[in-house]
Amino acid sequence: MTTALVLNSTARGSQSVSRQLVELATENLREADPDIRIIARDLDAEPLPHLTADVAHVITGGSPSNPAQEAALRLSDALIEELKAADVVIIGAPMYNFGIPSTLKSWFDYVLRAGVTFRYTEQGPIGLVGRKKVVVVESRAGFYSEGETMAMDSQEPHLRTMLGLMGLKDVEFVRVEKLAFGPEAMNAALEGARERVRQVAIPETLAA
């Protein structure tokens, strides 16, 4: 059975463009495989605790010595188990203040664990989560794909680095930009993003 992990991180609820596109990607997966297992996490509705001294202690390899550390380790283990079980990962990542939402950053904080999802070597880090198809939906009010504003993009480079650290290289980024450039620009961006989602959201194993 194919398993998909679907992460939403928008703080805008049903009005969110990234959420709408993530839902479209999920619908495409269900149409391709009605028996697909969907693991859904709404990181805004049910936010993960941000890093504290107790969380950092166990995530960096320390043994738990109090209830807070034990709970943090259980949560990290559960999130990593969901990630490793997934064949497809769909991530909704709107741009907030040129980066990703803090709720999504918290998810990465819990799943990026040396010796578990990656390991360090003299040749650089090696990912340990296995091969997966990843689709990241990026919504942006401005335009950061070309020109001088590319230097302001702390969203996609950060995501590429964190996913790559775990060995996730088969990553498709669906960018929907110019959402604040007026109705015409927004509608054109949405239509292009919807078509892009239809093209990339279904892995070859399901499309065959």
For residue 146, the model assigns a pLDDT of 87
The closest alpha carbon to 47, from 10, 22, 19, 94, belongs to: 10
Please tell me the predicted confidence (pLDDT) of residue 199: 83
Average pLDDT over residues 160-189: 94
> Across the strands, what pairs with 37?
3
Q: What is the arithmetic mean of pLDDT over 179-204?
A: 88
Residue 106's domain spans which residues?
3-207
Does pLDDT of 148 surpass 70? yes
Q: Which carries the bigger pLDDT value, residue 18 or residue 147?
A: 18
- Whether the full predicted model's pTM is greater than 0.75, yes or no, is yes
Mean pLDDT computed over 143-169: 93
Average pLDDT score over residue span 142-166: 93
For the cut 70, the answer to whether the pLDDT of residue 204 exceeds it is: no
Alpha helix segments (H runs only) across the chain: 17-32, 53-59, 67-85, 102-111, 156-165, 183-200, 204-207
Under the banding of pLDDT at 50, 70 and 90, the label for residue 206 is low
Q: Which CATH number is 138's domain given?
A: 3.40.50.360
pLDDT of residue 147: 87
Phi first, then psi, for residue 68 (nearest 5°) are -65, -40
What's the number of domains the chain is made of? Answer: 1
**DSSP secondary-structure letter at 99?**
B
Name residue, tokens 């950060």: 158
**pLDDT higher than threshold 60 for residue 208:** no
Per-residue pLDDT of 61-92, as tens digits, reads 999 999 999 999 999 999 999 999 999 999 99
Q: Give residue 205's pLDDT.
A: 61
Handedness of CA 198, 199, 200, 206 (dihedral sign): positive
pLDDT at 201: 65
